[in-house]
């Protein structure tokens, strides 16, 4: 057999079925200072985690189940639960190998720890990742209903150490299917008492980050030129909010002609310059502007694009904007550009659903304080704090923000303490894998 980590998810599923295994876990054992696998046959994966220096950061647990209906892996990656239940969205995606799948889950879960901690939320960090089986037509509503309901049952089995939400590949109706099988979810549709679409608050959060960065420079947003990559849900709302702030000009681009056309029509009375670009064309990242705002896909800031960026500030909603979180962060810092880390400024998606189960009110103060200028955990205050420390120490904003987030992430929940870890221990003790 090929080494287990280089197997495709489909071949891995076949292997697990042949071994008569449906559920597996990898849990960090503090006494042994090592990751323990649920099954001896999977020790190679535990060894990989123990030896990895890049993506494994003492994650508390990784739980994986093979769907009984489709050849799909259901995963829950739990990074740290001191601040509360691990929270983060469910990604439905294709992966070439088991290693790619694990690395993505580990990295995304840690990113949620940082995002939630910097936002002052009493949530830990986690992520759900479900593999796409190429033999299954993923747009079939019947398939999706079965799949997401079963994922909901998987989440229930984890007793609340991970609370799921919407992410790439998962829609609001999928969330309704999850909700029909578990209480441990957020982001459910408004019709079911949930918080609905988070794109508008997310765009407001990005504006808050831009304004804080400008304040740091002693400037205002009025009369600035902003370049926007991506005019989807967040990008379109951003254009609206920025146009209301009397910015001088917005230059925006997208890969879909109908989206470009819609923006042109909707903002015909505003100084909006639109461009239609090809999928891999990032040349407009180098356009003359005050602020560059990535709101499309990840990794558009990289060693190919950063050298020609002319903006003084980079601030957008796209997740994982830096292709290499360390080198690209340093390169931006070296150029003297103020980079507002994505996990600081795009938090409003999770903030919007964080207190969903506690009910909600119009202009909810628990949400609005993130957009205020004075609350210590607001996007404004956190951005100023990160920029000030970066300026003082000469370190990149990304490294400063991660350090701050790491520190906050070890604070224990004021009521529940480090309960997520207890839940994980009880799952192991009670033989969850059986």
User: Interface with ligand NAD includes 122 (CB under 6 A)?
Assistant: no
CA separation, residue 4 to residues 14, 58, 130, 376 (Å): 12, 21, 18, 46
Q: Binding to ligand NAD by residue 198, rule CB under 6 A?
A: yes
Q: Let me know if 334 is a catalytic residue.
A: no
Q: Which of 127, 224, 385, 421 is the catalytic position?
A: 127
Measured from the CB atom, the residue of 78 and 353 that comes closer to ligand NAD is: 353
Number of residues that bind ligand NAD (CB under 6 A): 25
**Residue 160 binding ligand NAD, by CB under 6 A:** no
> Is residue 286 near ligand NAD by the rule CB under 6 A?
no
295 sits near ligand NAD (criterion: CB under 6 A): yes
With a CB cutoff of 8 Å and minimum separation 6, the contacts of 113 are 79, 80, 86, 124, 125, 405, 409
Find the part of the chain contacting ligand NAD (CB under 6 A) among 68-76, 142-150, 212-220, 292-300.
292-300
Alpha-carbon distance values, 103 to 45, 75, 282 (Å): 12, 12, 26
Rg of the Cα trace of the chain?
22
Pick the closest to residue 211 from 343, 366, 363, 340 (CA basis).
340
Q: Quick one: which segment of 34-42, 79-87, 198-206, 358-366 binds ligand NAD (CB under 6 A)?
A: 198-206
Q: Give CA–CA dist 292/82, Å, rounded.
A: 35
Interacting residues of 249 by C-beta distance below 8 A, sequence separation 6+: 225, 226, 271, 272, 273
How far apart, in whole angstroms, are the C-alpha atoms of residue 179 and residue 122? 21
Residue 194 binds ligand NAD (CB under 6 A): no
CA-CA distance, 108 to 320, in Å (whole number)? 9
**For residue 383, what is the DSSP state?**
H
Residue from the set 221, 318, 400, 423 that interacts with ligand NAD by CB under 6 A: 318
Shortest reach from residue 280's CB to ligand NAD, in Å: 7
**Is 92 one of the binding residues for ligand NAD (CB under 6 A)?**
no
Provide the token pair at 36.
């323990």
The reply on whether position 229 binds ligand NAD by CB under 6 A is: yes
Closer residue to ligand NAD in complex, CB, 46/239: 239
Residue from 111, 194, 341, 349 in contact with ligand NAD (CB under 6 A): 349
Under the binding rule (CB under 6 A), the answer on residue 234 touching ligand NAD is yes
Instruction: Say whether residue 189 binds ligand NAD (CB under 6 A).
Output: no
Structure tokens at 392: 């003082």
The residue (of 202 and 378) whose beta carbon lies closer to ligand NAD is: 202
Residue indicated by tokens 């925006």? 252
Q: How far apart are CA 394 and CA 402, in angstroms?
A: 15
297 scored as a contact of ligand NAD (CB under 6 A): yes
Query: Which residues are designated catalytic?
Result: 127
Question: Which residues would be at the binding site for ligand NAD (CB under 6 A)?
Answer: 198-199, 202, 229-235, 253-256, 259, 277, 279, 295-297, 317-319, 346, 349
């Amino acid at each position: 057999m090929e080494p287990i980590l280089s197997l495709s998810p489909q071949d891995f599923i076949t292997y697990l079925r042949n071994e008569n295994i449906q559920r597996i876990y990898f849990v960090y054992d503090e006494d042994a200072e090592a990751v323990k696998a649920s099954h001896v046959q999977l020790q190679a994966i535990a060894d990989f985690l123990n030896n990895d220096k890049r993506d494994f950061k003492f994650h508390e647990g990784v739980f994986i189940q093979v769907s009984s209906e489709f050849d799909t892996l259901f995963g829950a990656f739990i990074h740290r639960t001191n601040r509360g239940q691990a929270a983060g969205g469910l990604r439905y995606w294709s992966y070439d190998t088991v290693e790619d799948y694990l690395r993505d889950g580990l990295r995304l879960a840690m990113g949620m720890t940082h995002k939630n901690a910097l936002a002052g939320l009493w949530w830990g960090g986690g992520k759900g990742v479900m593999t796409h089986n190429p033999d299954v037509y993923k747009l079939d509503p019947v398939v999706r209903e079965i799949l997401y309901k079963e994922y909901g049952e998987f989440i229930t089995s984890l007793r609340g150490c991970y609370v799921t939400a919407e992410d790439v590949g998962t829609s609001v109706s999928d969330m309704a299917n999850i909700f029909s099988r578990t209480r441990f979810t957020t982001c459910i549709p408004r019709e079911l008492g949930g918080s609905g679409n988070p794109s508008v608050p997310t765009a407001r959060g990005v504006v808050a980050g831009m304004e804080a960065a400008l304040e740091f420079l002693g400037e205002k947003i009025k009369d600035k030129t902003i370049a926007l990559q991506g005019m989807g849900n967040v990008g379109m709302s951003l254009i609206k909010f920025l146009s209301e702030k009397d910015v001088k000009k917005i230059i925006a681009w997208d890969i879909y002609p109908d989206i470009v056309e819609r923006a042109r029509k909707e903002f015909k009375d505003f100084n909006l310059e639109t461009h239609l670009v090809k999928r891999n064309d990032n040349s407009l990242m180098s356009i003359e502007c005050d602020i560059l705002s990535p709101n499309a896909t990840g990794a558009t800031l990289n060693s190919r694009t950063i050298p020609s960026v002319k903006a003084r500030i980079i601030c957008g909603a796209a997740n994982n904007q830096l292709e290499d979180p360390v080198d690209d962060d340093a390169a931006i810092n070296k150029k003297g550009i103020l980079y507002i880390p994505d996990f600081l400024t795009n938090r409003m998606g999770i903030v919007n659903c964080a207190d969903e189960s506690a009910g909600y009110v119009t202009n909810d103060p628990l949400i609005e304080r993130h957009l205020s200028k004075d609350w210590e955990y607001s996007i404004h205050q956190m951005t100023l704090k990160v920029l000030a420390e970066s300026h003082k120490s000469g370190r990149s904003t990304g490294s400063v923000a991660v350090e701050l987030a790491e520190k906050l992430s070890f604070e224990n929940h004021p009521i529940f303490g480090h309960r997520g870890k207890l839940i994980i221990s009880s799952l192991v003790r009670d033989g969850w894998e059986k």
